[in-house]
Structure 1
Amino acid sequence: MPVTAAETFTPIARYAARLHAIAGGTHHVASPLGAWLLLALCGAAGHDVEEALGVDADDALAFAADLLGTPHDAVLSAAAVWTRARADALLRRLPAAVETGDLPGQDRLDAWAREHTLGLIESFPLQVPPTAVVVLATALATKVSWGMPFDVVPGSTLGGPFGARLANALRTPEGHGHRQFVASSARAGDLVVHTARAREGLAVTSVAAAPDVPAADVLAAAYEVAGGTAVARSLFDLPLGDGPLWTISERHAPVTAASGREERCAAILPAWEARSEIDLGHPDLGFPAGARAIAELLGLTEYDYEARQSAVARYTRVGFEAAAVSAMFTTTGFTMPREGLVRTAELRFGHPYAVVAVASGGGPWDGVPVFSAWVANPSGSAG
């Protein structure tokens, strides 16, 4: 039986933790799913990558085939494997949706990146050398509009370091299309959570914890929230007044709940955009093992490899756009592998926080986390 989105959520979340740890606590965006799918393609050459994938290599490849072969309204996806040497043993194990062919020149690789990311990624992440014998790539992209756009408010309402330097911020409007609440996580403590839903079928969740909580713990909590395992808290269990994440007040007003108590939240967030280049060569991400498996399958006794991801994202008053191209090449040269660089509440995202974008709408994409980010340098423009 094919592996499902629910069964792969935890392995992809664990992979995301490794990828974001390598990117560090600075402002960045990434597609752990894009890198994970690239590694799944490496699994066509052997099972050396299973520890990093977190699932059986054949199951990962089958899940990749489901995603790549099933179009999603909000997420454009593509994958390719190009070769300069005879590689039938690798090619015949790939999903049917994977583009294959002779290794193109750099201009064509750049054009492939633009074509499959709605123009958001302008060039291929790698400069492919003449000695390359295999190039693998995945691309993911989205451009979506919120079901209900944000309102624009003064940046000072954010509070924290963001509020001190931004002219404008985004506030959730009245009505449907936005969900915000307070939650708790064993790893990150109390959280403020906001989810904006796009018309096309993408939910983008922002999660902030106390300012002193490490980025890795907040990102892990964001994946818990996106996966539905974080615990929501009642505003009536929290103290009134100001805190680092919220202001809670209480008043008498008409309510519809039979209990006579009603909870309402609004969220204030910054607009933001990010562009990142991430080296995927760290051993924790599995590509050293993937390159070795490909080299062995092709009979290369000496080889080198490089793996990298380019990612961009923009979060504005009216919508969200993001794209990532993940790529790896294997060459016939050999060098030693390099180590990578190792009640009524107003919820304020006034300091660095995490974001996870999850696909919805049924089929194999339903519930799959596609992009995630650490927002530490928001935009002063609401877009």
Structure 2
Amino acid sequence: MQPAADSVRAMNRLTERWATTGPVDGGTVLSATSLWPLLALLADVADGPARAELSDAIGLSADEAAAATRGYLEAVASVPGVSTALGLWTKGTLPLHTAWTAGLPAGTHGTFSGDPVADRKRLDSWAEEHTGGLIRSMPVAIDEATELVLAAAQAVRTRWLQPFHETELVPAEGPWQGRYLLGLGRTTSLLDRVGVAHTPDGPLTVLKVLGDAGIDVHLVLGAPDMTPGQVLGRGIRTLSGTDAVIPGDRLPTGEPGPGLRVTDERSRTPEPELVVRTVPFRVEAAHDLLADPARFGLATAMDTSRGHFPGIGPEPLAIGSAAQAGLAMFDAKGFEAATLSVVCAAPGSMPPPPRYTVRRIEAAFDRPFGFLTVHRASRLVLTAGWVADPVPFREPDEDEE
């Protein structure tokens, strides 16, 4: 079972909308698939302008939102390497419509004890448990005024089918020029793992790093003058075929794309070569979703002068805070990421001579680049991010001192 095609399109649309319009100060990581279920559940119970705005943000009619959310959560639960969880906590004095809570996954709803310190500890423990220990606290404040907290956690883990080896990397040009970095390298005969898309914003090189659980990571490198938003946005569009990718085995010799060099060389074996150089990374980010609420359909819902979610219960509720915390790590053996989205409602050796001529491609991701974590079968983007700060190289004995 995999996520429905309309839900995949809707979530990838939100990822693109977020990645292309949001500021990127240094590295970042974000996940629309963690946030989307929360927005969809809110759209289902909203009314008036808030309902219309949320519907636009999730890319589906609000009338379809609840069923689509349930379908997505059921489908993603069967995807190896991905885990999700939904949590709802409310004040014991807040009346709720049974029809709404009955539609949530079993075990989702809990109530606050009335002790903010104890409640905070309880919610932080939930966050740590459901992100595999990668995120240890809720990214929002919780106090006496908090009436309701709706949270979604997502964890993604995959191991490379072909691991990288660690090496040193000293870029010859670009923002990382001359820096002595920890690098990752590997060689394969599968030239189609890399490709080039010629997009309206500029050329884009896409490298697929395949994982063992049907979860892949696509590294995306744009022309030097492309912005992070353009690189990530165009990378997402390659998944739907909007920006077609020319595979490596069809690329001409020369430098057909960013970071690429294609040559025909003499070799002692008949297999072509794709030589990849990149860097490991660890990227963390915290997003205040209400800094640009219109992007997420929350602008009207922030208005505390009235209630916006009559489907939750008879008491008027407005959005008091909304945030996402994320962490992504890429190394020689695999990739893992976790995101936590929260919405709070408040009132309101010497070789023999060469015998063959073969195609050789060198792909270097040695300046800032983007990444997309992709469910291979459905092409759903689980996380997206930008790598701006590479890991410096350290001699092995430095770790022992």
Q: Which residue of 1 aligns with 2:283?
A: 274
Of 71, 75, 83 in structure 2, the residue corresponding to residue 76 of structure 1 is 83
1:200 and 2:213 matched: yes
Q: Which residue of 1 aligns with 2:296?
A: 285
- The number of residues matched between the two structures is 363
Q: Which residue of 1 aligns with 2:345?
A: 330
Are the aligned partners of 1:207 and 1:218 in contact in 2 as well (CA < 8 Å)? Answer: yes
Amino acid at match of 1:63: A
Q: 2: CA distance between counterparts of 1:4 and 1:289?
A: 30
1:28 and 2:37 matched: no
Amino acid at match of 1:51: D
Q: Secondary structure at the match of 1:165?
A: coil
1:188 and 2:201 matched: yes
Are the aligned partners of 2:188 and 2:273 in contact in 1 as well (CA < 8 Å)? Answer: no
Structure 1 pair 303–184 and aligned structure 2 pair: CA distance change class (3 A): closer
Are the aligned partners of 1:304 and 1:331 in contact in 2 as well (CA < 8 Å)? Answer: yes
Q: 2: CA distance between counterparts of 1:285 and 1:35?
A: 9
Deviations 1:323-360 (A, max 9, x none): 0110011112x5xxxxxxxx522111122211111124
Amino acid at match of 1:358: V
Uncovered stretches (5+) of structure 2, i.e. residues with no partner:
114-118, 349-358, 397-401
Q: Which residue of 1 aligns with 2:145?
A: 131
How does the TM-score come out when normalised to structure 2?
A: 0.81
Q: Which residue of 2 aligns with 1:307?
A: 322
Amino acid at match of 2:57: A
1:368 and 2:380 matched: yes
Structure 1 pair 23–378 and aligned structure 2 pair: CA distance change class (3 A): same
Instruction: Using the TM superposition, give the Cα deviation of residue 214 of structure 1 relative to its aligned residue in structure 2, in angstroms.
Output: 1.4
Q: Which residue of 1 aligns with 2:70?
A: 65
Q: Which residue of 2 aligns with 1:15?
A: 14
Instruction: Using the TM superposition, give the Cα deviation of residue 137 of structure 1 relative to its aligned residue in structure 2, in angstroms.
Output: 0.5
Instruction: Using the TM superposition, give the Cα deviation of residue 12 of structure 1 relative to its aligned residue in structure 2, in angstroms.
Output: 1.8
Q: Secondary structure at the match of 2:188?
A: coil
1:151 and 2:165 matched: yes
Structure 1 pair 378–64 and aligned structure 2 pair: CA distance change class (3 A): farther
Amino acid at match of 1:17: E
Structure 1 pair 322–167 and aligned structure 2 pair: CA distance change class (3 A): same
Of 208, 217, 226 in structure 1, the residue corresponding to residue 239 of structure 2 is 226
Of 154, 171, 194 in structure 2, the residue corresponding to residue 140 of structure 1 is 154
Deviations 1:115-161 (A, max 9, x none): 10000001011111211211111000023211221122321267533
Q: Which residue of 1 aligns with 2:360?
A: 344
Q: Which residue of 1 aligns with 2:374?
A: 358
1:56 and 2:67 matched: no
Structure 1 pair 97–5 and aligned structure 2 pair: CA distance change class (3 A): farther
RMSD of aligned alpha carbons: 3.0
Structure 1 pair 192–217 and aligned structure 2 pair: CA distance change class (3 A): same
Amino acid at match of 2:276: A
Are the aligned partners of 1:25 and 1:374 in contact in 2 as well (CA < 8 Å)? Answer: no
Are the aligned partners of 1:151 and 1:170 in contact in 2 as well (CA < 8 Å)? Answer: yes
Of 105, 109, 112 in structure 2, the residue corresponding to residue 103 of structure 1 is 112
Q: 1: CA distance between counterparts of 2:146 and 2:319?
A: 9
Are the aligned partners of 2:175 and 2:368 in contact in 1 as well (CA < 8 Å)? Answer: no
Deviations 1:93-132 (A, max 9, x none): 6333571121361110100100100000010111112112
Instruction: Using the TM superposition, give the Cα deviation of residue 5 of structure 1 relative to its aligned residue in structure 2, in angstroms.
Output: 3.3
Are the aligned partners of 2:216 and 2:375 in contact in 1 as well (CA < 8 Å)? Answer: yes
Instruction: Using the TM superposition, give the Cα deviation of residue 300 of structure 1 relative to its aligned residue in structure 2, in angstroms.
Output: 4.2
Q: Which residue of 1 aligns with 2:116?
A: none
